């Protein structure tokens, strides 16, 4: 009798689970936002009420990593669940005229969800390539809808567009050689140059309309919102400009936070909030070169374009009312783990390729242990011959190479701008007792650490052996004729590429 009841309950539960609507997914992805930039991560003058609310009601990560400290490769890893070395998004980042882009045989989260009937939209900074005839745009990577600037907003003569009110002196340097940055809807340019002061409102309207439409159709959806905020030079429209104690960086961050609030309100209004996983993080650490306009990694070492903790450890919050219990987790996790997590939640089939992520279900739903033991870090200019720059195994991080970057200059720590150095034996840090990486551990003083180092070298060899480098998309170079122009036949370029 007991067995019969048990079987009945199990069958009933299975039926309930299988008949439940597939969960929606919202990924909020900031740009160049450091570990300590958000209010709930300790910044004293940031104004981020909506992100703080997500943290209060959700799970806040303390040990969450991107794969690398740069925009394009980090995004490639997030969307594919694979290191950027596999997809060929190296060295550095893509440009407006780049010939290459995220290869079309890579499967993004949107493409993975498509066979399940998901609607997918991307809004904001793509930065995974355009190519000839928009080959690499989001609409060719599984997203049905796209509104945004397809690369960094400073990759065009943007500085005179970022100030509010318009009669104040603008601040910041942009790429003056390229075309002005376009606003694209799907694969069409709808405005060039993009109006930065009204951009965020357009993004917010687009994102909330997408949620409303999908909810009305009772269609599961994936919204990917990679924000331009808080990349340099910061900008903000009327709703946020001049309203925070932190200046332009704080205003830009507040504008991002306002959009997060709009998106959350749309999820609540449509009644889908209890069936939606919302995940927030950032693509890489702060660009310290920009001083007070460059963000903060807090107690973490260095920032953007380095493999130090400040370059790759990011704020991250998972929110799902009724499913994720509020709290803080110190478990090791990564953007690489989002795709496998979404596959498990939705029942999607994993892409038949070498994946580098593990699902985070135990962390999210029971505050349990991570399936991830290690995290490897290649430089922005990776090489199979040189190998890994750094590797974290549980609480220890070993550096085989270190290198500073001009992007992380201006701080007092000379390591943030130091040239490439090889370390044998590797530099070793205990990130639990020394998250700032101030005190390298000495094998002479701690001979017991030899075992740790041996394990690290074993994991390193195994991970390096499993890494197949894809053809570099960025080494294919750039062609000025591929830069997006709303008036392709006009002359002289790029100044004639202007449309209302
Ligand atoms: Mg970035």
Q: pLDDT, tens digit, for every residue of 238-257? A: 999 999 999 999 999 999 99
Asked whether residue 279 is domain-assigned, the answer is yes
Banded pLDDT at 2 (limits 50, 70, 90) = very low
| pLDDT given for residue 177 in this prediction | 81
Residue 10 belongs to some domain of the structure:
no
The per-residue pLDDT for 411 is 82
Residue 160 sits in the same domain as residue 274: yes
- Give the per-residue pLDDT at 17: 39
DSSP state letter for 192 = B
Express each pLDDT in 354-379 by its tens digit. Answer: 999 999 999 999 999 999 999 999 99
Do residue 341 and residue 234 come from a single domain?
yes
Taking the centre of ligand 1 as the mean of its atom positions, its distance from the CA of residue 4, in whole angstroms, is 56
Catalytic residue among 14, 16, 43, 71: 71
Q: What is the mean pLDDT of residues 202-226?
A: 98
Over 80: is that where the pLDDT of 162 sits?
Answer: no
Order of all β-strands in the sheet with 421-430: 374-377, 390-393, 396-402, 421-430
500 part of a folded domain: no
In the listed set 373, 400, 415, which residue is the last one of a domain according to the structure?
A: 373
Out of 341, 373, 405, pick the residue that ends a domain: 373
Question: What value does the mean pLDDT of the chain take?
Answer: 93
Strand bridging mode 327-329 / 59-65: parallel
- pLDDT per residue as tens digits for the range 305-351: 999 999 999 999 999 999 999 999 999 999 999 999 999 999 999 99
| Nearest residue to 101 via CA among 124, 80, 123 | 80
What separation in Å is there between the alpha carbon of 467 and the centre of ligand 1? 24
C-alpha 76/C-alpha 339 separation (Å) is 12
Give the closest residue to 26 by CA, choosing from 336, 356, 281.
Answer: 281
The three-point CA angle 80-25-367 to 5° equals 90
Question: Where in the sequence is the domain holding 292, given as residue range(s)?
Answer: 22-373
CATH number, domain containing residue 392: 3.30.1120.10
**Pair (39, 124) in one structural domain:** yes
Using 50, 70 and 90 to split pLDDT, how confident is the model at 170?
Answer: low
Work out whether strand 396-402 and strand 183-185 pair parallel, antiparallel, or are unpaired. Answer: unpaired
Is 71 catalytic? The answer is yes
Do 236 and 361 sit in the same domain of this protein? yes
Residue 135 belongs to some domain of the structure: yes
The pLDDT-based confidence of 9 (bands split at 50, 70, 90) is very low
pLDDT at 71 (0 to 100): 97
Question: Which pair of tokens denotes residue 469?
Answer: 């480098």
pLDDT at position 454: 98
| Ligand 1 centroid, distance to 435 Cα (angstroms) | 22
My answer on whether 369 and 465 are in the same domain is no
Instruction: Name the percent of the chain in helix, strand, coil, to the closest 5.
Output: 35, 15, 50
Task: Flag whether 478 is in a domain.
Answer: no
pLDDT of residue 12: 40
218 belongs to a structural domain? yes
Are 270 and 418 members of one domain? no
Ligand 1 center–CA 72 separation, angstroms: 8
Is the domain of 332 the same as that of 249? yes
**Could you tell me the distance, in angstroms and rounded to a whole number, from the CA of residue 217 to the centre of ligand 1?**
34
Above 80 in pLDDT, residue 20?
no
Q: Where are the alpha helices (DSSP H) in 305-448?
A: 309-312, 338-346, 361-366
Domain match, 318 and 226 both = yes
- pLDDT, position 6: 44
pLDDT score for 15: 38
Q: Does 304 lie in the same domain as 429?
A: no
* Per-residue pLDDT tens digits for 41-50: 999 999 999 9
Asked if the model's pLDDT at residue 145 lies above 80, the reply is: yes
User: How far apart are the CA of 295 and the centre of ligand 1, in A?
Assistant: 11
- Is 489 inside any structural domain? no
Residues 350 and 407 placed together within one structural domain of the fold:
no
* Distance from residue 455's CA to the centre of ligand 1 (Å): 32
The rounded distance, in Å, linking the Cα atoms of 279 and 288 is 25
374: β partners:
393
State the distance from the centre of ligand 1 to the C-alpha of 70, rounded, in angstroms: 5
Say whether pLDDT at 10 is over 60.
no
Contact indicator for 99, 367 with CB cutoff of 8 Å:
no
CA-nearest of 367, 436, 393, 392 to 61 is 367
pLDDT at residue number 43: 98
- Number of domains into which the chain is organized: 2
Residue 149 belongs to a domain with what CATH number?
Answer: 3.40.720.10
The two structure tokens encoding residue 191? 């405005």
Examine the domain organization and report whether 361 and 430 are in the same domain: no
Q: In angstroms, rounded to a whole number, what is the distance separating the alpha carbons of residues 430 and 433?
A: 6
Catalytic residue from among 16, 40, 43, 127: 127
Gap from CA of 31 to ligand 1 centroid (Å): 4
Residues 377-394: tens digit of each pLDDT: 999 999 999 999 999 999
Domain co-membership, 369 together with 383:
no
Q: Would you mind telling me the total number of residues written for the chain in this entry?
A: 500
Q: Give the end of a domain, one of 310, 345, 373.
A: 373
Residue at 274 is within a domain:
yes
């Amino acid at each position: 009798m007991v067995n019969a009841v048990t079987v009945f309950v199990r069958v009933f539960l299975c039926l309930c689970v299988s008949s439940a609507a597939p969960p929606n997914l919202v990924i909020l992805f900031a740009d160049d936002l450091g570990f300590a930039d958000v209010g709930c991560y300790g910044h004293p003058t940031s104004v981020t009420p909506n992100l703080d609310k997500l943290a209060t009601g959700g799970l806040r990560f303390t040990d969450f990593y991107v794969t690398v400290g740069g925009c394009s490769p980090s995004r490639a890893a997030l969307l594919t669940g694979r290191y950027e070395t596999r997809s060929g998004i190296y060295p550095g980042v893509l440009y407006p005229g780049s010939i290459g882009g995220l290869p079309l045989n890579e499967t993004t989260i949107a493409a993975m969800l498509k066979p399940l009937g998901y609607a997918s939209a991307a809004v904001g900074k793509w930065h995974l390539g355009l190519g000839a005839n928009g080959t690499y745009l989001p609409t060719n990577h599984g997203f049905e809808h796209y509104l945004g600037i397809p690369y960094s907003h400073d990759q065009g003569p943007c500085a005179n567009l970022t100030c509010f009110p318009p009669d104040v002196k603008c601040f910041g340097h942009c790429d003056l050689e390229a075309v002005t940055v376009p606003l694209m809807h799907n694969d069409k340019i709808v405005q060039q140059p993009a109006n930065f002061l009204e951009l965020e409102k357009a993004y917010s309207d687009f994102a909330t309309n997408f949620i409303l439409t999908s909810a009305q159709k009772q269609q599961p959806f994936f919204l990917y919102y990679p924000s331009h905020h808080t990349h340099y030079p910061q900008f903000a429209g009327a709703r946020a400009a001049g309203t925070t104690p932190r200046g332009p960086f704080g205003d830009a961050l507040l504008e991002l936070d306002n959009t997060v609030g709009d998106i959350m309100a749309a999820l609540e209004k449509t009644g889908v909030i209890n069936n939606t996983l919302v995940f927030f993080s950032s693509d890489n650490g702060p660009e310290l070169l920009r001083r007070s306009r460059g963000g903060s990694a807090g107690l973490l070492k260095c920032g953007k374009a380095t493999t130090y903790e400040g370059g790759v450890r990011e704020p991250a919050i998972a929110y799902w009312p009724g499913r994720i219990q509020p709290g803080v987790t110190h478990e090791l996790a990564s953007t690489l783990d989002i795709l496998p997590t979404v596959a498990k939640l939705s029942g999607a089939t994993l892409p038949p390729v070498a994946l580098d992520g593990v699902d985070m279900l135990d962390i999210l739903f029971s505050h349990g242990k991570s399936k991830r033991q290690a995290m490897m870090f290649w430089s922005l200019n990776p090489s199979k011959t040189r190998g890994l720059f750094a590797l974290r195994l549980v609480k220890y991080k070993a550096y085989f190479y270190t290198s500073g970057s001009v992007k992380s200059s201006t701080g007092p720590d000379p390591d943030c701008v130091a040239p490439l150095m090889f370390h044998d034996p590797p530099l070793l840090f205990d990130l639990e007792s020394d998250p700032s990486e101030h005190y390298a551990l000495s094998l002479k003083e701690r001979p017991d650490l030899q075992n740790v180092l041996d394990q690290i070298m074993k994991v390193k060899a195994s991970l390096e052996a499993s890494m197949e480098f894809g053809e570099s998309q960025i080494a294919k170079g750039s062609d000025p004729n591929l830069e997006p122009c709303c008036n392709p036949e006009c002359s002289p370029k790029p100044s004639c590429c202007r449309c209302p």
